Amino acid sequence: MIKQANTSSLDIIFRLRDVIEPSADAWLVGGSVRDQLAGKLSHDIDLIFPFDPRQIARQAADRLGGNFFTLDDSRGMYRILITENGQTDVVDFGRFQAETLEEDLKNRDFTINAVAYRLHNPTDWKDPLGGRQDLKDRLLRPCSEHAFINDPVRTIRAARMALGFNLHMVPGVIQMIREASLGLKHVSAERKRDEFFKLLDSPHPASAIRLLDSFNVLPQLIPELIELKGVQQSLPHTMNVWEHTLSAVKHLDQLLDLFIAPEGMLEDGGNLMLGLTAGKLGKFRQDIQKHYNHSLNPFRTRKSLGLLGALLHDIGKPVTAKTGEDGRIHFYGHQTVGAEITRRIGQSLALSEVEVDGLSVMTESHMKPHFPIMKDTLPSRRNVYRYYRSAKDFGVDTCFLSLADSLSRTDTLPEQEAWTAVLDKISVYLEGWFDKRETWVQPPRLISGDDIMRHFSLEPGKIIGDVLDKLEEAQASGEISTREEALELAKITIHNHKKESDE
Q: By mean pLDDT, which of 41-45, 79-83, 152-156, 199-203 is the weakest?
A: 41-45
Per-residue pLDDT tens for 316-364? 999 999 999 889 999 999 999 999 999 999 999 999 999 999 999 999 9
Asked if 143 and 152 touch (Cβ cutoff 8 Å), the reply is no
My answer on whether omega of the bond before 262 falls inside 30° of 0, hence cis, is no
Q: By mean pLDDT, which of 169-173, 412-416, 455-459 is the weakest?
A: 412-416
Answer yes or no: is pLDDT of 298 > 90: no
C-alpha angle with apex 496: 485 to 502, nearest 5 degrees? 155
Whole-number pLDDT of residue 5: 43
Answer yes or no: is pLDDT of 3 > 50: no
Question: Domain residue spans in the chain?
Answer: 1-133, 260-441, 449-502
Size (the chain), residues: 503
Whole-number pLDDT of residue 377: 83
Report which of 204, 196, 203 is spatially closest to residue 225, judged by C-alpha positions: 196
Distance in Å from the first CA to the final CA of the chain: 83
Per-residue pLDDT tens for 209-258? 999 999 999 999 999 999 999 999 998 888 999 999 999 999 999 999 99
- What whole-number distance in Å separates Cα of residue 319 and Cα of residue 502? 41
Q: From the centroid of its chain, how far is CA 379?
A: 27
Class of domain 1-133: alpha beta
- What whole-number distance in Å separates Cα of residue 254 and Cα of residue 251? 5
C-alpha distances in Å from residue 331, one per residue of 139, 214, 241, 321: 44, 27, 11, 5
SS (H, E, C) 371-426: HHHCCCCCCCHHHHHHHHHHHHHHHHHHHHHHHHHHHCCCCCCCCHHHHHHHHHHH
C-alpha distances in Å from residue 445, one per residue of 136, 212, 297, 463: 63, 51, 32, 17
3-state secondary structure of 77: strand
Whole-number pLDDT of residue 4: 43
Find the mean pLDDT for residues 136-161. 97
C-alpha distances in Å from residue 402, one per residue of 252, 262, 347, 437: 9, 24, 24, 20
pTM of the model: 0.90
Whole-number pLDDT of residue 87: 77
Asked if 135 and 34 touch (Cβ cutoff 8 Å), the reply is yes
Whole-number pLDDT of residue 41: 75
